[in-house]
Amino acid sequence: MKNILVAGGAGFIGSAFIRHMVAAYPEYSIICFDKLTYAGNIDNLLPVSDAENYHFERGDIADRAAVSRVLQRHAIDTIVNFAAESHVDRSILAPDAFIHTDVVGVYILLDEGRKHGISRFCQVSTDEVYGDIESGYSQEQDRFLPNSPYAASKASGELMTRAYHMTYGMDTVLTRGSNTYGPYQYPEKLVPFFTTEALEERPLPLYGDGKQVRDWLHVDDHARGVDFILHFGAAGEAYNLAGETLRSNIEITRRILQWLDKPSALIKYVPDREGHDRRYAMTAAKARALGWRRQVEFEAGLRATVRWYQENEWWWRKLKAGDYQRYYQRQYAERLAAAK
């Protein structure tokens, strides 16, 4: 392993992975390949922009010629794919981009990677492929029951990755991370959205009864987990990277308001997300047996994250203009008008 292509490295988790890898492995060359969609942000990579072992190339993982060029130019031997359309609400409004990137893009990356003889391909996936888990904990061999266009597109990317291993003997590994929080997360996802809205004393649109449960993982633990599986995961295998920390949305919302010293009257119960999964929960036993451990405790991690958004308005304020406003109107205007 020497020259690593990190697709989607300008996003939330991909940029945490790059910041980690550039510092941890000076002997590797880390090449970020990113289309810079609305969620891609070069500011996320400012801490490594001067590092000698870091390079940036703009491009689309579904563009075969561009992928082939970057693999050749940097003599890539390893691919880690974070590139995705990643927001469930946007997948409900407009699924097309999810098929383009999370399905076709993954296929093109696999196919070009195989043609260029890369030695390992790591596909970053999600617990959402298992769907709603009423009780218990999802294990790697459980069946896929995706419920949103996002989850179905990620499941499709996984199936194609598996097929390239089974059919062509490609060395692939899959990671399934749980809901991730931390600095540099685009302010459409629950934690950064509610934190930045609360800072401005705007209403927080909580879907349904707010009792849906997610399993939370700090972004640095997610990044270290992908590094770990990339190095030690067995070819053809999938690994849950679970925070094993279940919290309801209302608990998290109350915490954010408490730490920001804002009134609970900001919480607005709005009509639910369509097809909203009630509970995600995974066991990380398989990754743990290999030696991976989550390090960040949830309360401390969430508290530090809320503080980061408080202290880094320069980062998120400019993201909440233009296209974001159009998305906000589409997603929330009617819901907030119907709020209880």
Site residues for ligand TYD per CB under 6 A: 88, 179, 189-190, 193, 205-207, 212, 214, 249, 273
- Catalytic residue from among 130, 150, 181, 332: 150
Q: Is 128 a catalytic residue?
A: yes
Between 1 and 201, CB nearer to ligand TYD: 201
Q: How far apart are CB 27 and ligand NAD at their closest, in Å? A: 25
Three-state SS letters, the chain: CCEEEEECCCCHHHHHHHHHHHHHCCCCEEEEEECCCCCCCHHHHHHHCCCCCEEEEECCCCCHHHHHHHHHHCCCCEEEECCCCCCHHHHHHCCHHHHHHHHHHHHHHHHHHHHCCCCEEEEEEEHHHHCCCCCCCECCCCCCCCCCHHHHHHHHHHHHHHHHHHHHCCCEEEEEECEEECCCCCCCCHHHHHHHHHHCCCCEEEECCCCCEEEEEEHHHHHHHHHHHHHHCCCCEEEEECCCCEEEHHHHHHHHHHHHCCCHHHEEEECCCCCCCCECCECCHHHHHHCCCCCCCHHHHHHHHHHHHHHCHHHHHHHHCCHHHHHHHHHHHHHHHCCC
Which one of ligand TYD, ligand NAD, none interacts with residue 20, CB within 5 to 8 A by kind? none
Closest residue to ligand NAD in the complex (CB): 11
Which one of ligand TYD, ligand NAD, none interacts with residue 205, CB within 5 to 8 A by kind? ligand TYD
Which residue, among 214, 202, 193, has the nearest Cα to 339 in the 3D structure? Answer: 202
Which one of ligand NAD, ligand TYD, none interacts with residue 60, CB within 5 to 8 A by kind? ligand NAD
- Catalytic residue from among 34, 112, 128, 215: 128
Which one of ligand NAD, ligand TYD, none interacts with residue 104, CB within 5 to 8 A by kind? none
Give the strands of the sheet with 246-248, arranged side by side: 179-181, 213-218, 246-248
Phi, psi of 79 (to 5 degrees): -120, 130
Which one of ligand NAD, ligand TYD, none interacts with residue 162, CB within 5 to 8 A by kind? none
Q: Is 209 a catalytic residue?
A: no
**Integer Cα distance of 144 and 140 in angstroms:** 10
Residues of this chain that bind ligand NAD (CB under 6 A) = 7-8, 10-14, 34-37, 39-40, 60-62, 82-84, 86, 101, 105, 124, 126, 154, 177, 179-180, 186
Q: How far apart are CB 13 and ligand TYD at their closest, in Å? A: 12
Q: How far apart are CB 263 and ligand NAD at their closest, in Å? A: 28
Between 100 and 273, CB nearer to ligand TYD: 273
Q: Is 150 a catalytic residue?
A: yes
- Catalytic residue from among 60, 77, 127, 215: 127
Between 35 and 255, CB nearer to ligand NAD: 35
Which one of ligand NAD, ligand TYD, none interacts with residue 62, CB within 5 to 8 A by kind? ligand NAD
Neighbours of 28 (CB within 10 A): 17
Q: How far apart are CB 155 and ligand NAD at their closest, in Å? A: 11
Between 88 and 256, CB nearer to ligand TYD: 88
Between 149 and 205, CB nearer to ligand TYD: 205
Q: How far apart are CB 125 and ligand TYD at their closest, in Å? A: 12
* CA angle, 27 then 30 then 35, to 5°: 180
Between 25 and 207, CB nearer to ligand TYD: 207
Which one of ligand NAD, ligand TYD, none interacts with residue 190, CB within 5 to 8 A by kind? ligand TYD
Dihedral sign (CA 225, 228, 232, 234) = positive
Q: How far apart are CB 201 and ligand NAD at their closest, in Å? A: 26
Residues catalogued as catalytic: 127-128, 150
